[in-house]
Structure 1
């Protein structure tokens, strides 16, 4: 039965990709945002697999796409502004991880202010496949271990899911990774389910709508070093790019359909971004301080 199921999955996958669809796998991520504290948080993430690539991301915003669409369309129709941060749950992670098939080139994509950046991030996993087997959810899995990003990882993969991929940057095993976690349980992904997404699109409605307000969805190619430096500057002053336009006259103007001024809105946005940047000091990959001068 398992053999027929695997064959069916492969045939279905090939047929669906001809129609621009994707196989979306949902992973619940349990993580410790503060390295000095034992408390954990949970967030749903997704891995969209198409015939030529996969995209991993925090699924918080895409999950609310229909609500965001309704809110934005209502604002555009009325010509008034609404603070959606009160009704929309914010993501825990803003980046996306791309893997191209069949070469499995890994790329990292994230936004700095209004611009989108992307850089190649070569990753080689030296997996040690072990004989241990375990049933996780509906799948029979096998154990594998590796070291990556300054941590030791244990993964459980299933050949019943014929994709050599997994959450975040993980890949390279003879089956989809069903579970992966580091030995300190700082980060742990577990597969929760999957679905076929018809008429799949790379960007959500919210991301496409943002292009009307100066945000770009065309990624600028850069290097990891340049991106990291620019991102650190952005974290230190999230509104640096906008400051030349923040004249007293502009800041004192009232938002359309609101009693709030542009200045008050900008302060709220700055606090939102700084809270986001300060919420996690325990990254997935531990920075290699030996490389720093």
Structure 2
């Protein structure tokens, strides 16, 4: 009888813990202009860990995407027409983000998947470059943790990380992982990007970025070309639709869109794999611009940033 009780509680707490998300919150500083002397900009980024998968996403993007998902669900359930999103009370402004994408990792396999959205369609690839760390001896305090130093060259920058074995999680911000402990501090040699772990929180029923069933698989080498092709196709379809409607003014709100998609990325559906090559990603503070009146006005909140000089996190 006693053994059955123990087994019950083990299974119960396993189920409870799997349903929870461990969120590691990083205070993130970004230099938006590598040429001109400007002030560093700050926003929070999250590393959400659930089971053996993780999601890296900015707080501002997560808030925006979760609101979009909620409205889509409401429209679907109530069978209402989509309304102008900016006119809905409490949803008039979205903070811009430097991270118009999200990254998923299969932690045990050290597989990394990069997701954006272009012309309303999700596109992704699997990172093909393993991060090779040089770990230094010695331990020092970083952000309240006993940490070791590690250095790597990735994407045209030299990165210095401090990781702690006190949190035995081989993960960290952006695409970085592979150390015997969580990265608690990360910065590049040019002083353009800096991530500092400030706290860990447990989130019940955390919002999870979804992976679209029709997401386009690309490679790192062909990623920007495939994005351009999607935009071109979207433009042609929009013109065709306008022509079929007598040349009327179609309020489609199309154009570039860089951001995360929807689907079941961390929700039991697993990762979508594949892809090799080389490329570069911009972390610009752009807004969403999609083919739905409900979503197109999210670009208004960030329009002042779309033409700003950008300093990509990967230079090559």
TM-score when scaled to structure 2? 0.67
Shift of 1:182: 0.6
CA distance, structure 2, for counterparts of residue 45 and residue 270 of structure 1: 21
Give the count of matched residue pairs.
Answer: 257
Shift of 1:244: 2.9
Shift of 1:200: 4.0
Q: Secondary structure at the match of 1:184?
A: coil
Matches within 5 A, 1:112-151: 112-151=118-157
CA distance, structure 1, for counterparts of residue 220 and residue 22 of structure 2: 29
Q: Is 1:15 aligned to 2:14, yes or no?
A: yes
Long gaps (5+) in structure 1: 1-10, 209-215, 254-261, 288-293
Deviating beyond 6 angstroms after TM superposition, the runs of 4 or more aligned structure 1 residues are 69-78, 234-238, 264-275
Tell me: CA distance 1:159–1:178, structure 2 relative to 1, closer, same or farther (3 Å): same
Q: Is 1:56 aligned to 2:52, yes or no?
A: no
CA distance, structure 1, for counterparts of residue 124 and residue 179 of structure 2: 25
CA distance, structure 1, for counterparts of residue 314 and residue 107 of structure 2: 24
Structure 2 equivalent of residue 213 of structure 1: none
Shift of 1:23: 1.0
Structure 1 equivalent of residue 314 of structure 2: 285
Tell me: CA distance 1:41–1:237, structure 2 relative to 1, closer, same or farther (3 Å): farther
Shift of 1:185: 0.8
Shift of 1:276: 5.7
CA distance, structure 2, for counterparts of residue 178 and residue 17 of structure 1: 26
TM-score when scaled to structure 1? 0.72
Q: Is 1:169 aligned to 2:175, yes or no?
A: yes
State which drifts further: 156-165 or 224-233: 224-233
Q: Of 77, 80, 83, which aligns to 1:81?
A: 83
Q: Secondary structure at the match of 2:248?
A: helix
Aligned-residue CA RMSD (Å): 3.8
Q: Secondary structure at the match of 2:146?
A: strand
Q: State the Cα deviation string for residues 200-241 of structure 1 (Å, max 9, x = none).
A: 4523xxx79xxxxxxx46533222233211334667998565
Long gaps (5+) in structure 2: 1-9, 253-290
Tell me: CA distance 1:281–1:234, structure 2 relative to 1, closer, same or farther (3 Å): farther
Tell me: CA distance 1:80–1:52, structure 2 relative to 1, closer, same or farther (3 Å): closer
Q: Secondary structure at the match of 1:154?
A: strand
Q: Is 1:223 aligned to 2:223, yes or no?
A: no
Structure 1 equivalent of residue 117 of structure 2: 111
Shift of 1:271: 7.8
Larger relative contact order (Cα-Cα within 8 Å, sequence gap ≥ 6): 2
Q: Kindly indicate whether the alpha-carbon contact (under 8 Å) linking 2:18 and 2:51 is maintained by their aligned counterparts in 1.
A: no
Q: Kindly indicate whether the alpha-carbon contact (under 8 Å) linking 1:33 and 1:282 is maintained by their aligned counterparts in 2.
A: yes
Structure 1 equivalent of residue 7 of structure 2: none
CA distance, structure 2, for counterparts of residue 100 and residue 197 of structure 1: 20
State which drifts further: 42-51 or 88-97: 88-97
Structure 2 equivalent of residue 153 of structure 1: 159
Structure 1 equivalent of residue 248 of structure 2: 249
CA distance, structure 1, for counterparts of residue 295 and residue 170 of structure 2: 44
Structure 1 equivalent of residue 26 of structure 2: 27
Q: Is 1:44 aligned to 2:50, yes or no?
A: no
CA distance, structure 2, for counterparts of residue 102 and residue 114 of structure 1: 32
CA distance, structure 1, for counterparts of residue 111 and residue 101 of structure 2: 16
CA distance, structure 2, for counterparts of residue 129 and residue 59 of structure 1: 30
